[in-house]
C-alpha cells in the first residue's frame, strides 16, 4: 500500500493543483462524458492514458478480454451491462468504443483454456466469446497469427452484442449513438480503429 500512498501524494503535489478547478466543476455539476469505453482489465492498457483524456471525459468499464455480453435482463449480476445501461440511458453518451489489445490473457484463455487458478469465474466469463474462438479455429491460421486474429474477433463480437441491447440499437438507428472498435498494440503503442468493413487499420 505504501507505493500507492506515495503515488497519491505525488498526485496531490503535482497534478492536483493543475486539475483542481476541473474536479471542483465536476463535483458541482456532475459528470457528462461523451464516450463510454469497454476495455480489458489488463494493467498495461489504460484507456485514459491511451486517449490522453482528462477527468470527466471517459466513462469506462473494464473486464477480462473487453467483452460485452448479450442483452440478458435477469436477476444475475451483470457488471458490464449495468455500466452500459448507465452510460447510454442516464449519461446519454454519444459514442461507445470497444477496445481490444495485443497479448490479451483473456483471449489466450479462450484459445488455450483458462488456467487452473481461473476456473471459478474466468472460464465461464470467456464463454461469451465462443463464437470468436470458433471463427479463429476455422480461419486455419499459423500459430503466431491466431491470438491477434481472435483479439480482433472479440472486438467485433462485443460490438455485435452491444446492438442486442434494444436501447443501444434504437440510439444507433436514430444517429444519437455511434459504436466503434479499436485495438491497442502493447509493445508498439499503436492504435488501430475498426472500419465499417470490420477491418482494423492504423488510426
Nearest to 59 by CA among 18, 28, 26, 25: 26
Number of domains in the chain: 2
Cα separation of 110 and 88, whole Å?
A: 29
Cα separation of 60 and 29, whole Å?
A: 19
Same domain assignment for residues 82 and 101: yes
Same domain assignment for residues 2 and 53: no
Query: Binning pLDDT at 50, 70 and 90, where does residue 23 land?
Result: very high
Same domain assignment for residues 16 and 79: no
Range 40-67 average pLDDT: 98
The pLDDT, as a whole number, for residue 141 is 95
Same domain assignment for residues 36 and 12: no
Cα separation of 30 and 53, whole Å?
A: 17
CATH number, domain containing residue 37 = 3.40.1050.10
The pLDDT, as a whole number, for residue 65 is 98
The pLDDT, as a whole number, for residue 154 is 98
The pLDDT, as a whole number, for residue 195 is 97
Same domain assignment for residues 3 and 56: no
For the stretch 91-135, pLDDT in tens is 999 999 999 999 999 999 999 999 999 999 999 999 999 999 999
Range 46-52 average pLDDT: 98
Same domain assignment for residues 11 and 47: no
Cα separation of 155 and 195, whole Å?
A: 12
pTM, entire model: 0.95
Facing residues of 182 across strands? Answer: 99, 193
Residue 15: domain span = 1-29
Q: Which residue in this structure is represented by grid cell 472498435?
A: 181
Residue 108 has φ and ψ, to the nearest 5°, of: -60, -40
Count of CB atoms situated within 10 Å of the CB of 154: 31
The pLDDT, as a whole number, for residue 101 is 98
Cα separation of 108 and 83, whole Å?
A: 25
Amino acid at each position: 500500500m505504501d507505493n500507492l500512498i506515495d503515488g497519491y501524494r505525488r498526485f496531490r503535489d503535482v497534478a492536483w493543483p493543475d486539475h483542481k478547478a476541473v474536479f471542483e466543476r465536476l463535483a458541482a455539476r456532475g459528470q457528462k462524458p461523451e464516450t463510454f469505453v469497454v476495455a480489458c482489465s489488463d494493467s498495461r492498457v489504460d484507456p485514459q492514458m491511451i486517449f490522453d483524456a482528462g477527468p470527466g471525459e471517459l466513462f469506462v468499464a473494464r473486464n477480462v478480454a473487453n467483452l460485452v455480453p448479450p442483452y440478458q435482463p435477469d436477476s444475475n449480476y451483470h457488471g458490464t451491462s449495468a455500466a452500459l445501461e448507465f452510460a447510454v440511458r442516464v449519461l446519454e453518451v454519444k459514442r461507445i468504443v470497444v477496445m481490444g489489445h495485443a497479448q490479451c490473457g483473456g483471449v489466450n484463455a479462450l484459445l488455450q483454456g483458462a488456467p487452473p487458478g481461473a476456473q471459478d469465474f474466468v472460464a465461464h466469463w470467456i464463454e461469451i466469446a465462443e463464437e470468436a474462438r470458433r471463427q479463429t479455429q476455422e480461419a486455419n491460421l499459423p500459430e503466431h497469427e491466431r491470438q491477434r486474429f481472435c483479439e480482433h474477433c472479440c472486438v467485433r463480437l462485443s460490438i455485435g452484442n452491444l446492438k442486442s441491447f434494444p436501447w443501444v440499437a434504437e440510439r444507433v438507428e436514430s444517429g444519437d449513438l455511434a459504436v466503434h472498435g479499436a485495438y491497442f498494440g502493447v509493445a508498439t503503442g499503436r492504435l488501430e480503429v475498426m472500419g465499417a468493413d470490420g477491418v482494423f487499420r492504423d488510426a
